[in-house]
Structure 1
């Protein structure tokens, strides 16, 4: 099916380009080198998170009512604007405004991209390939960390933060331009945005089958916050500081492999998917118990297993959604994901990797209920 293959290449290419931003490995250092202290940097991250949380669901409603492709394009333009502000006038206020704009951009893209890709594949008669395509997109986002880190290093050596910043602006605009090539399937949503919001939320929260898979995706997606602690685990387990980035990258590459295999994992019975999730939690617990540099291999294996299950769960969610509120309902799951990530942060604060491993096991019953239905409902 040539059209479906072209669409897949477009989706994977957009996913890779949208993450090929040389600011990503360096922006925390930019803040510190500009004179901010650790508390001020944490406050900036809070601005980013709050902006995303407040606009997540309204952004999904806007995408359904206006244009999902337009929302993705606008997200790239807004992200570019935020980075341009950082680069042109680096300072606390500019960083805060840029993060707020970036938070809105992330909310615009999160539900809209999945809805755009799913409906695009459905229009081409390739709905059943969504898990595979989504897995490849997730894999591309992880794999692109390698050239991104290399580009950031070279650009900083040549032109410092200004060159890194302006190239980042250009990459975001290029991703926005590429998003214009997405075909957009026709969909009809409420003319009244408040009515659209009410209907989208009602569909997500009142239909038992959909409610369960939304909750499962939210809890599973929140567990991805464990990635933030991979450098911490590496250092605590004896990896030299200079080698920590390479160790973290190795774990990310294992995750990329797991995500890429998500399409194959979708064919597995639910009990096997649950076994993979249990295996991910037990791998993390075993690694924490071993607490040696080599234990990161177990973390990498568990991360790959986890992302394979997450890709399947995200596909099941898209299969279960019926009607014109696909982006809004996906955004509800995205909001739940952000809230669920707070559980990971709290668990780490209380009990480190053992407590986080416990979370992996604790969500298994909810994931079991959410993944129970395999047959696509949306037609």
Structure 2
């Protein structure tokens, strides 16, 4: 484990605070979002199509907001994200209140995606660059694992509270609470967040900057074989993961036998949150069991897909909850390993850009996977759609195996090793 000095500890505290606040804000609706959409009069297909428009927004805006993060600063990107997400969440509430037509949901869902793209890549890049600048030379699994645990705690509190509040009041109140928390986080970030170890480049014209960002994403992402194959796996893993998380709400309520038991939907999200805490704690320990980081990712996808297939034939509510907990823990334990793997292969100046592009690849899968599985749920039921999701997730395996075969230095790096050089640069390069 690399030594953690006072400056690095402060950076970690700020990062964990931002993670806590953002996840808490988001999680107030996670336990009831699908029920909220259905209550607004949307069908299962329309509900997941709305989610697909959200992921479409992420795909459309990942690169332009990458320009903001790398050209105007990661702090600026974070602040814009909180404002955009708060405003679009309030619009979501108004759509529910007035039972608006589907086209309105599609537009606002795209705006929600825009809000999240300001966060994706930027905050993670801010952490890594600031940590390296502060003199931290350790591995990243431990840092990302702690963030995963903090995120899980916030999700546990927010999702349970959101479900209970929705049952005590109505499905719209958790959305208003999210707006309030996001505005608080804007104030926190404005006060404590500063770009450290990174100098924004603001000299280029926006169109030229966007082209430059896209070129950097391709050069340091898709043209870098071990990174490319992880990116190509993302549409199948992320697309299925997004669908499953939201489909579990009506799926579990069907098994429970009470479609109005919103607290049960909150409980499902809380179980995912608790599993996320455990997974974050396990991540650096599980890493020690494997010689390569890519092996962790391969094992995770294999187990996750198998659990989804079994969930598709489960008829017992409590068994489904147990399987849900294991599924979430497996995914949570793999995520910090994947983050460390990618970050150790990306140069500093393009870090936010390439991470955003990786997020874009995952979101692109959600555009297709969510409505397809939502339609399958309408026709065959939610259990069958979950099993189909497991089969789709298996498509990611050949890509992860291909990444492993590249034998990248970052694949074998362990906590405490020096980060792998990328194109002659290291993550410490400002």
| TM-score when normalising by structure 1 | 0.82
User: Is 1:286–1:298's contact at 8 Å kept on the other side of the alignment?
Assistant: no
Is 1:373 the counterpart of 2:403? The answer is no
CA root-mean-square deviation: 3.6
Match of 1:273 in 2: 296
Q: 2:24 aligns with which of 1, 20, 37?
A: 20
Q: CA deviation at 1:239?
A: 4.6
Q: Secondary structure at the match of 1:110?
A: coil
User: Is 2:311–2:387's contact at 8 Å kept on the other side of the alignment?
Assistant: no
Match of 1:130 in 2: 140
Ranges in structure 2 where 5+ consecutive residues have no aligned partner: 374-383, 414-418
Q: Secondary structure at the match of 1:174?
A: helix
| TM-score when normalising by structure 2 | 0.74
How many pairs were matched up? Answer: 378
In structure 2, the CA distance between the partners of 1:159 and 1:107, relative to structure 1 (3 Å rule), is same
Match of 1:146 in 2: 156
Q: CA deviation at 1:78?
A: 0.8
Match of 2:66 in 1: 60
Is 1:4 the counterpart of 2:8? The answer is yes
Q: CA deviation at 1:248?
A: 4.9
Map 1:341-360 → 2, pairs under 5 A: 341=366, 345=370, 349=385, 352=388, 355-356=391-392, 358-359=394-395
Q: Secondary structure at the match of 1:320?
A: coil
User: Is 1:86–1:94's contact at 8 Å kept on the other side of the alignment?
Assistant: no
Match of 1:187 in 2: 199
Q: Secondary structure at the match of 1:128?
A: coil
Map 1:1-379 → 2, pairs under 5 A: 1-21=5-25, 22-33=28-39, 41-87=47-93, 90-91=97-98, 92=100, 95-126=105-136, 128-152=138-162, 155-156=165-166, 160=170, 164-180=174-190, 181-185=192-196, 186-187=198-199, 189=201, 191=204, 192-193=208-209, 194-215=211-232, 220-225=237-242, 226-231=244-249, 234=252, 238-241=255-258, 242=261, 243=264, 245-267=266-288, 268-270=290-292, 273=296, 276-277=299-300, 280-281=303-304, 283-284=306-307, 287-288=310-311, 291=314, 292=316, 293-294=318-319, 296-341=321-366, 345=370, 349=385, 352=388, 355-356=391-392, 358-359=394-395, 361-369=397-405, 372-374=408-410, 375=413, 376=419, 377=421, 378=426, 379=428
Q: Secondary structure at the match of 1:109?
A: coil
User: Is 1:61–1:325's contact at 8 Å kept on the other side of the alignment?
Assistant: no
User: Is 1:258–1:305's contact at 8 Å kept on the other side of the alignment?
Assistant: yes
Deviating 4+ runs (over 6 angstroms): none
Q: Distance in 1 between the 2:161 and 2:390 partners?
A: 36
In structure 2, the CA distance between the partners of 1:209 and 1:233, relative to structure 1 (3 Å rule), is same
Ranges in structure 1 where 5+ consecutive residues have no aligned partner: none
Structure with bigger helix share is 1
User: Is 1:139–1:257's contact at 8 Å kept on the other side of the alignment?
Assistant: yes
Deviations 1:310-330 (A, max 9, x none): 221111111110141111111
Higher relative contact order (CA closer than 8 Å, sequence separation 6+): 2
Bigger shift: 300-309 or 341-350?
A: 341-350
Q: Distance in 2 between the 1:223 and 1:314 partners?
A: 19
